Amino acid sequence: MDPVDQDSTLPDAAPVSLECPGAEDDSLGGSNVVAQSPSNANVKLEDLFDEDDDEELPSWGASKEGAPSSSPPPSPPIIAPSAKYSDPGVMRTFYQRLFPFRYLFQWLNHSMKPSNDFSHREFALTLQNDAYLRYQSFPTSDLLRKDIIDRNPSRFEIGPVYTTNPRDRKTLRKSSAFRPLAKELVFDIDLTDYDEIRTCCDKANICHKCWSFITMAIKVVDVALRDDFGFQHIMWVYSGRRGAHAWISDKRARNMDDQRRRSIAGYLEVIKGGAQSGKKVNVKRPLHPHLARSLDILKEHFQNDVLVQQNPWAKPEKAERLLQLLPDKTLNDALRKKWEAAPGRSSASKWADIDALAKAGASKNLDGKALLEAKQDIVLEYTYPRLDVEVSKKQIHLLKSPFVVHPGTGRVCVPIDTRRVEDFDPLGVPTVTELIHEIDAWGSHHQDADSEGGSKRLQDYEKTRLRPYVDLFRTLVGVLLRAEQGVKRERDDDDPMEF
């Protein structure tokens, strides 16, 4: 999604009361609903957030131990086996039973207790009718959960923390008083930006072969963010179809202004130019340590994932593109002649031919240093991360929330464990309908499990393949909370950033 900077480009949300069930105006007109700002609501903190209860969501129909009940718990909604992930009933069930609202709150709030880091945060909802509602905000995870279940969006996005409650922005005397204060530093990698070099798929299609480009990108960017900038709280999230997002939650990263965000994006941007442009890698020598390290990470991927799996220069016009990136015309002519005589020659063989003919003296005036540098640039062009840097440059940019459902595939946007990044299978990520059926299947095989004495009642996500992803998220959030609550570190002003 392109950055959205102006109110006029998107409709405002209909005013709703966060206290009254059923206060949502289905027409989205809002003429009959009186808005009440969450910050002014007369609600006690302990009524909004139970810090002692760390359970995300109870199993369907479960009540807290000892709580009186005048009626039996409601039966879970029945989802037909043929239901599609885009069905509103499927999405509502997902939000009710599986979405980790509590951990999302803790991640964005940086504390167990509600604060402005969450209540002044913008959420943007895409409803089932494609209406897009910006500047939504919520004081607690419970009220976020309630509104998401009531509105039942097909997805929602996360924006910055503002100087005031986003719902109250139009009540300010000066519009300039409403401005972003903080937001995670984010990065977006999309396989469509690799269409000119991947041969297995294009557009929205992906397979295991081309997913290796995302694996390479995560390895290179993650180590740069940690080693070169000192960031520690980095979460990579599968986009649900053909890419990945990085969220950096370190306080220093959240508080960066747009200028510093642009600087970091520029530091990581190496591939420049569109599909029709010429040479896309133009870097100075000697190579910056970041690029030297990246080449070391990427060289094995280049041999296996690019030359063998993608075979990028199999076609004559693609082979000609390779020759355009080499510095010696005489050598190029010799390579072209050799390849024309063997039309089926593989890309791995063509790459080996470059050194073989160079050593055989195909060009008497060959500059060996220039050839080595050209080959390094080629490796970078075919392996280095292709970032959508515009996503990273502004605090105000909105990005899809972790754990929402991709509307095109039905897959959940789950975190990626960077310790085992090569094991991540995007095609194996569960869809929302699969997860709901897994809950039902678990229930049919464990009918007496919840009634056994002394046994812990499982949350619904624990009965599905979503469990390892939620557990990973919970672990990352726990590490972040401990860092936020620990001894105060060096002041942000005393941490110079060198590029």
Catalytic site positions: 122, 188, 190
| Residue 424 contacts residue 416 (beta carbons within 8 Å) | yes
* Beta pairing, strands 180-182 & 132-136: unpaired
Treating both helix axes as pointing N-terminal to C-terminal, what angle do 208-227 and 289-301 enclose, rounded to 10 degrees?
160
Distance CA 206, CA 218 (A): 17
Report how far residue 261's alpha carbon sits from residue 339's, in angstroms, rounded to the nearest whole number: 45
Q: List own/partner pairs for 285-292 with CB under 8 A and 24 or more apart.
A: 285/373, 287/376, 290/224, 290/228, 291/380
Q: Strand pairing partners for 236?
A: 246, 416
DSSP string, 84-142: -TTSHHHHHHHHHHT--HHHHHHHHHSSSS--HHHHTEEEEEE-TT--EEEEE--SSHH
Report the SS3 class of residue 490: coil
Q: Comparing C-alpha atoms, which of 271, 226, 169 is closest to residue 418?
A: 226
> What is the bridge-based pairing of β-strands 185-190 and 234-238?
unpaired
Distance, CA of 50 to CA of 61 (rounded, Å): 19
Question: What whole-number distance in Å separates Cα of residue 148 and Cα of residue 150?
Answer: 5
Query: Beta strand 155-162 with 185-190: parallel, antiparallel or unpaired?
Result: unpaired
Q: List, in sequence order, every residue forming a beta bridge with 492; answer none if it has no partner.
A: none
Q: Is 409:431 a contact under the CB 8 Å cutoff?
A: yes
Structure tokens at 161: 């923390």
Token couple for 202: 């294009």
Structure tokens at 86: 């885009």
